[in-house]
A and B are shown apart, each in its own frame.
Chain A
């Protein structure tokens, strides 16, 4: 940075640091990161219920030792249900209630049809899944008993079961893992957007609104140096906000008991510096975009509106990655922000650099910063800069 740009940078930094609102706007997200992460973690803890054994309460359980053994073999926890008739609610600690008739044992022995009732609560995703799991297991037991009866009568069971299929889940990661990793990435990727937001608006739109742009442009300093100094200031906030968010993220992760997260994190002495190196040019690129937006508007309020809209970009991209990642073509992951997320994802969750996406995001950042800074400086030469809203 040359001397004049440095003079502008020093003044801008001093000016912004003195505004408490700017500091709060820049760093609140980074400091509130752990709270956000705690919330995410709470969600993942809750989702662990999905991986627990299904729990079934059975009325007249003593009459069905075979069924109980079969269910327990399928890792369903079985307890006795004391109530009679239709239950008002699913008892606490269970996922479903199976009401067996009083003549269950004798009907089984006679080989007649047994009519039972399974009560579930499908008000939640977990309730639906557990209910299906229990019903499928009971059906399987019914099929097993039916097969035994046919065999006893000299009929091969395959006659009534011509097709038998087994289901296997081949997803690389569960939905909850995808959501959790996507949320963590969004937390990190949003930090540069928030860090520089308020100062980027104030340094150009605010300067114009305060009528201080005209005296500044009447000094022997080129628009290029003015923009360079201002970009350095916004980038400082952006980088500081990003690094603070990363630090709080690491701190929060260190508090989480080992093995309780549904994802593996590879944050170590190799990946963390690479993550920082990746994030710094990205933060400068975002600062350049924010300055470019800020110079198009006449007032602080107008600038805030447009830059706030720009804030939606990382959220959209993160959700796109979480919910639509598998449907996107490979080329889409080389788009700005998405390539950044891919590269960071590889570093954080696989522990290895993804050079293709890393270099793409670096190239996008370098070209983007240069082009945007050039256009912003060009715009500063415009006479419209002399008048405020």
Chain B
């Protein structure tokens, strides 16, 4: 389970995340839905222990990331926004490397590789160097690397980007399987069809804040719109308007 409370992060004058609070439960798929630059990647990086936040907290299975990032990382499987593979290593070597970093050795390591090879159908690319892999094959390796050590929480940053339909369907099946087996799955996306098809819980982000959250059905109902896409547009526009009003008020007070 992942809990994010009042998260804030700035880069110079830019407020990447202002005030983000949500939780992602076990046995559920939670999606951060937002436009580019809304703060999704920053939030996921903070959860992965890659950022020092200015304010707020992140806990992964009751472990405070700011205090013990490595313990939290042991319970996380991270699928970053770019696959980040080593072109001169084979798929198996990737898996061995990351499994060893998670402390797997000997038979446990072999079993974990066998299992993930079967789950993701990696047999034909297991002993091939990743140089020249298709996007789908690269996705599989990156995902295998993230779930190999059986983390209770999986974090995926726009996982379907660049994938074809067949690979998107494969990814959806795997994420649903992970959810069925009790994992907490947290992903970011701006593809409505993907969000609707997968998500139990949607957290809509805009301008570094959470503007709404709930199930896709709840969000549609809340806004009175016909579908999630319209609901998303309505909610982000409302947030934008509220943000502009707040800024005007603060400028008026300053004057």
Q: Which residues of A contact B (CB under 8 A)?
A: 4, 7-8, 11, 14-15, 18-19, 210-222, 383, 386
Question: Would you call B233 an interface residue if the criterion is a C-beta within 8 Å of the partner chain's C-beta atoms?
Answer: no
Shortest CB–CB separation between residue B12 and chain A, in angstroms?
12
B191 within 8 A of A: no
Tell me if B's interface is mostly helix, strand, loop or mixed. loop
Partner of A219, one of B85, B86, B98, B142: B98
Give chain B interface residues in 63-121, CB to chain A under 8 Å.
Answer: 70-71, 73-74, 76, 78, 80-89, 93, 97-98, 100-103
Contact A218 B50 (CB under 8 A): yes
Decide if B82 touches A214 in the complex (CB within 8 Å).
Answer: yes
Residues of A within 8 A of B89 (CB): 11, 14-15, 18
Q: Which residues of B contact A212 (CB under 8 A)?
A: 84-86
B51 adjacent to A210 (CB under 8 Å): no
The answer to whether A213 touches B71 (Cβ under 8 A) is no
Give the CA-CA distance A276 to B186 in the complex, in Å.
54
Task: Choose from A15, A18, A213 the contact partner of B84 (Cβ within 8 Å).
Answer: A213
User: Which residues from A are CB-within-8-Å of B93?
Assistant: 11, 14
Counting CB contacts under 8 A, is B48 at the interface? yes
Contact of A217 among B50, B76, B81, B145 (CB under 8 A): B50
A-B Cβ contacts below 8 A, count: 70
CB of B49 closer than 8 Å to a CB of A: yes
Contact between B101 and A4, CB atoms less than 8 A apart: yes
**In contact, B71 and A214 (Cβ under 8 angstroms):** no
Answer whether residue B169 sits at the interface, using C-beta atoms and an 8 A cutoff. Answer: no
Q: How large is the interface on B (under 10, 10 to 19, 20 to 34, 35 or more residues)?
A: 20 to 34
Task: Give B contacts to A, CB under 8 Å.
Answer: 45, 48-52, 70-71, 73-74, 76, 78, 80-89, 93, 97-98, 100-103, 142, 145
* Given A4-B101, A7-B97, A215-B80: A383 in contact with B50 (beta carbons within 8 A): yes
Given the known inter-chain contacts A11-B89, A386-B45, please indicate yes or no for A220 contacting B71, CB distance below 8 A.
Answer: yes
- Residues of B near A211 (CB, < 8 A) are 80, 82-84
**Interface contact B87-A210, CB-CB below 8 Å:** yes
A76–B105 Cα distance when bound, in Å, is 81
Task: Looking at the assembled complex, report how far the CB atom of A387 sits from the nearest CB atom of chain B, in whole angstroms.
Answer: 10
- Most chain B CB inside 10 Å of its own CB: which residue of A7, A14, A215, A217: A215
Residues of B within 8 A of A19 (CB): 88
